Structure 1
Amino acid sequence: MSEEIKQVVENLREAIQQAEQFGLVRTENGQVITGAIVSENSIVLTED
């Protein structure tokens, strides 16, 4: 994984954590997004 991708994932995780206190990051069906991980071809958002 490149350093750029690692930085993007870290930035995304930080943004999710900051927004989480306000319940702002949700899927279309209302589940709360709590984090992000890197898969082989993309960044996957994780939920409770």
Structure 2
Amino acid sequence: MKKKPKLLKKNEGLNPAAAAPKIEPIVVPINKALAIRVVLMAGLVVLKT
């Protein structure tokens, strides 16, 4: 019984269409946070130089 959930997870990973709706809500906030960090780091570099 423990093997079946693993197979389901693998199938979801192979199916981009099925996995995308679950991944997007997590990835988008991370991308926004990374973009903000990049801007802040660039601003710090400009201030230092």
TM-score per shorter chain, which class? 0.3 to 0.5
The answer to which structure has the higher strand fraction is: 1
Q: Which has the higher contact order (CA 8 A, sep 6+)?
A: 1
| TM-score, normalization by structure 2 | 0.41
The answer to which structure has the higher helix fraction is: 2
| TM-score, normalization by structure 1 | 0.42
Structure possessing the higher radius of gyration over alpha carbons: 2
